[in-house]
Amino acid sequence: MGQTASTFEWKKSDPEAQGIASASILRFIERIEEEGLELHSLMIVRNGYVVAEGTWAPYRAEIPHLLNSLSKSFTSTAIGLAAEEGRLKLTDRVLSFFPEYVTPEIEANMKELEIQHLLSMSTGHTVDTTPYMRNTGREDWVRAFLEIPIERPPGTHFLYNTGATYMLSAILHRATGQQLLDYLEPRLFAPLGITDVTTMTCPRGIHTGGFGMKVKIADIAKFGLLYLQEGIWEGKRILPAAWVRTATAKHIDNGSDPNSDWAQGYGYQFWRCRHGAYRGDGAFGQFCIVIPDKQAVIAITSGEMEMQAILNAVWEELLPGMKDSPLSAMDDAEPNKLKSKLQDLAYPAEASRNSTDPSIRNQLTYQVADNAAGIRAVSFRFGEDYDVLHLLDEEGKQELRIAHGEWADNMLRIGGETSPVSVCGRWVQPNMYEIELRFLDQAYRDIWTCHFVNDSVQMTTTRNVVITPGLSDKLLLPELAGAFYEDRDM
């Protein structure tokens, strides 16, 4: 099965022509900024038209962004396609795909678990299986999952369980002989014109499924529009309509708080929302929000802990501005103000607040103690127009160019992972230098504070979001204490 590659181009429209007030979009953006919520990109689609899109510099719409758990909705889609092709059934037992793992103990533990329970996060586990799978030192995540005790009858208890989504990816691999992204390429990505998709893998090379995918902001919007259109894309059926309705319906209770968008029920790797909406979402504010009653899709990438606050702004600012028919703008003031605002979205690069201590010499190299990032030595070169930080690890030396009062683009390698970053630096005290890094392909924004004392430097890191140790901390620079040992560049 496959579809030809898409030549799709977004149709664009003024908001009022699609029944949404420019003023409501403007209020949404202003509220986001007033509350200090850190969005990276935004795309609003109404009636199939893009009515607003913008990216906060230095982030760029063409750089694929880490989806975190929004990856789960793509994995769910692959399962729906495989079921339509007869490769599997949602009632298939999980163990039927892995007969070589079955022991009496595993059979007793897993005999009732079906694909549909993985999809609805109702496996019967009472703790997320992911930390055990990833941190026991085993390379075989499937075996690790099968050994974790199921304590409640499958289908009766909701627990957000990323290991369950990994198992969906592993089952897809067994059922089709293809990895998740390879399977989706001709069936989903090519028809929608989604390119440059990457993902993480487990130690055995199986795509992780529940996290690790990167796509562009426009691709998140395309995915949402496909679901809004019940599987139709440019007049062709990509997904079964029955699958779209089933996957986004409530299959299990996940709470009772009427004010929480994490307590409105859970579908097949989709969350139900207030106001009749549903969404795929990922940690730190990666959203694909679909509002069927309003024929609207809202795609967002972020680096924000307060995810509910973002959704509150959607419901309280954007939703009231969506009407059932085109609006007549009294004048062009609000539309023009919105256009200007969208063009000027940016996070400023803060300039120095102090001058450099003249005793801090240039081109000093500091040897550092053992650390998780594998950094062996650092050196600094402070210049008139820009500064340079050199980092030495087992793969060699890399240079980080640091701008003053503006952003400098770099590629940064830490802990074996490389990411595009924009960087600026400033002196906050005569002997204290801050380096701000924005990881352009994910949620992280770091501040590296370098405190120079005599012939040593202490480097500490603060991050905008709280990470899960062992899951997403590879790009975090640990505290580095360096003792001066050579008056030269590395």
Domains of the chain by start residue, with CATH? 11-341 (3.40.710.10), 364-486 (2.40.128.20)
Distance separating alpha carbons of residues 284 and 69, to the nearest angstrom: 10
Structure tokens at 86: 């007869």
> pLDDT for 235-260, tens place per residue?
999 999 999 999 999 999 999 999 99
DSSP secondary-structure letter at 118? H
| CB contact set of 193 (below 8 Å; sequence gap of 6+) | 5, 6, 7, 8, 222
For 265, half-sphere exposure in the C-beta direction (CA atoms, 13 angstrom radius) is 15
402 neighbors 435 (Cβ within 8 angstroms): yes
Burial 115-129 (b: 16+ CB within 10 A, else e): bbbbbbbbbbbeebb
pLDDT in tens, the chain (490 residues): 555 667 899 999 999 999 999 999 999 999 999 999 999 999 999 999 999 999 999 999 999 999 999 999 999 999 999 999 999 999 999 999 999 999 999 999 999 999 999 999 999 999 999 999 988 777 999 999 999 999 999 999 999 999 999 999 999 999 999 999 999 999 999 999 999 999 999 999 999 999 999 999 999 999 999 999 999 999 999 999 999 999 999 999 999 999 999 999 999 999 999 999 999 999 999 999 999 999 999 999 999 999 999 999 999 999 999 999 999 866 778 999 999 999 999 999 998 888 887 777 777 788 888 877 788 899 999 988 899 999 998 899 999 999 999 999 999 988 778 999 999 999 999 999 999 999 999 999 999 999 998 778 888 889 999 865 444 455 566 666 655 445 555 6
Q: Is the peptide bond preceding residue 320 cis, with omega within 30 degrees of 0?
A: no
Rounded to 5 degrees, φ, ψ at 390 are -100, 135
> pLDDT for 20-34, tens place per residue?
999 999 999 999 999
